[in-house]
Amino acid sequence: MIYEISSIQDPRVAVFATMTETQLRNRLNAEQGLFIAESPKVIRVAINAGYTPQALLCEQKHIHGDAADIIERYPEMPVYTGSRDMLSQLTGYTLTRGVLCAMRRKPEPKLEEILQDARRVCVIDSVCDTTNIGAIFRSAAALGIDAVLLTRSSCDPLNRRSIRVSMGNVFLVPWTWLDDYASLQALGFKTAAMALSDDSISLADPILKEQERLAIIMGTEGDGLPMETIRDADFVVRIPMYHQVDSLNVAAAAAVAFWELVSPPE
């Protein structure tokens, strides 16, 4: 069902233009919330991961081009189109791949469900930069992390920019919200807080790889992890640095930690 849009004020495309991320998410009823995925490749990854498209916004050339298979798969889905300039006015920027899709969120899985068979997980604690969230998810998917957990003070992984930076990998790694570390430890996980402290151990310390189940905790770049989180962790871990550099970007640090700790013990 294809609809030509002639005005950026058309209420049918408000989901792509005027609704905020918070409005899309709909915190009062997360299962009814939406998110926006950009580019046919990323949209296909989301669909294959079980997310349902609700509406498509695309340039005219993509209706019978890059988005044709998506439109064919969901013939009842409304498809809104217009000129490239008009769509740029509507969304506030030039569409990188010419296609946006509003998709329905899935129910949030329970912690016990996604950790049932997990051995290595990442905890994102109070990270609010969407670029970093997306980059961490991309590394988590590529380097074998079994699940990602986020504290409620972190930003939403289904934020439009997080999805784009992750290249859709946010749909490939199971994730949910973590309300307290006690529940994580109750499931048999040892916790490794990535932080600089006087009693920290090297990321290369063999004791870390010996752990059957390990949660790698990454904090925000400015303030780092809360002192309480560091104090209660089973291990405080540092990445050895050279040339008097004190730390890495949190996304880069996560990738290094994943690479070192996901591989099985020698």
**Strands (DSSP E) along the chain, which ranges?**
2-4, 34-38, 52-59, 79-82, 99-104, 120-125, 147-151, 175-178, 190-194, 201-202, 214-219, 235-238
pTM beyond 0.95, yes or no: no
pLDDT confidence band for 199 (50 / 70 / 90):
confident
pLDDT confidence band for 264 (50 / 70 / 90):
low
Taking residues 133-137, report their average pLDDT: 97
What tens digit of pLDDT does each residue of 63-87 get?
888 899 999 999 999 999 877 777 7
SS3 state of residue 32: helix
Joined tokens for residue 42: 């990323």
pLDDT score for 155: 92
50 secondary structure, DSSP code: T
Q: Answer whether residue 147 shows pLDDT above 90.
A: yes
Q: Answer whether residue 29 shows pLDDT above 60.
A: no
Q: Answer whether residue 115 shows pLDDT above 60.
A: yes
pLDDT score for 90: 65
Q: Answer whether residue 28 shows pLDDT above 50.
A: no
Q: Answer whether residue 171 shows pLDDT above 50.
A: yes
170 secondary structure, DSSP code: G
Are the C-beta atoms of 169 and 255 separated by less than 8 Å? no
Taking residues 204-208, report their average pLDDT: 95
Q: Which residue has the tokens 């990442």?
A: 122
The sheet with strand 99-104 has its strands ordered as 2-4, 79-82, 52-59, 99-104, 34-38
Q: Answer whether residue 198 shows pLDDT above 90.
A: no
Chain mean pLDDT for the chain: 88
Strands 79-82 and 2-4: parallel
Centroid of chain to Cα 101: 17
